[in-house]
Amino acid sequence: DIVHIPFEVFTAQALKVAVNVWLTITKERTDLANLLLVDVGSCWMKSIDQRKGLFSREHDPAPEANQPMLYSPYDKKAINRTAHEASQSFQTHRYVIQFFASHFEGTMFQSKSLLKMFTQWAIYGLSNLKNASLHPFARMVRHELLNFSVLLLTVNFKQGTGYVSSLCRAIV
């Protein structure tokens, strides 16, 4: 429940608090770290399948051809509210990616099974970027995912794993 509830709520604040709790648990209870990590990875993939956060097209800007030409003052409050909603929506996956990157950097050469899990989650996220939001605020989260994937690629390359080619294809 410590993992599933924040993903069900799926707000930036809920995941920010959850990530802090998860990092504390992985530090204090190393025996539970891998179980927690697997659960977070499972929920990460489920949120991608459900088209939440970064992988939702809900906040994509409408095509300019479909916009009516209006010669009236704009509503700055509505624009700011929409921008804030979009930003908060994308932050959810950003926090999870940062959690993955943080945990991976701490356990980089600990085991090949951890490397395999992180690599599979990154490939899954990268392969679904074609369905991700095109909103300008989503660029930062996409960049975080790409940076994490390049780090994984470097370690996979150094260790000579079989994921190098599939990770390269997913990144490109």
pLDDT tens for 24-53 read: 999 999 899 999 999 999 999 999 999 999
- For residue 61, the model assigns a pLDDT of 77
Count of CA atoms in the C-beta half-sphere (13 A) of 163: 25
For position 100, what pLDDT does the model report?
Answer: 96
Could you give the CA distance from residue 120 to residue 127 in angstroms, rounded to a whole number?
10
- C-alpha pair distances (Å), 37 with each of 102, 113, 128: 12, 12, 21
Q: Determine the Cα angle at 149 with ends 148 and 151, to 5°.
A: 65
Would you place residue 152 in the very low, low, confident or very high pLDDT band (cuts 50, 70, 90)? very high
Residues sharing a CB contact under 8 Å with residue 163, sequence separation 6 or more, in sequence order: 116, 119, 120, 123, 156
| pLDDT band for position 60 (cuts 50, 70, 90) | confident
Task: Note whether 24 and 102 are within 8 A (CB).
Answer: no
Say whether pLDDT at 72 is over 80. no
Q: Can you tell me the mean pLDDT for 6-26? A: 95
What is the band of 107 on the pLDDT scale with cuts at 50, 70, 90? confident
Contacts of 74 (CB under 8 A, 6+ apart): none
The rounded percent of the chain whose pLDDT value lies above 90 is: 80
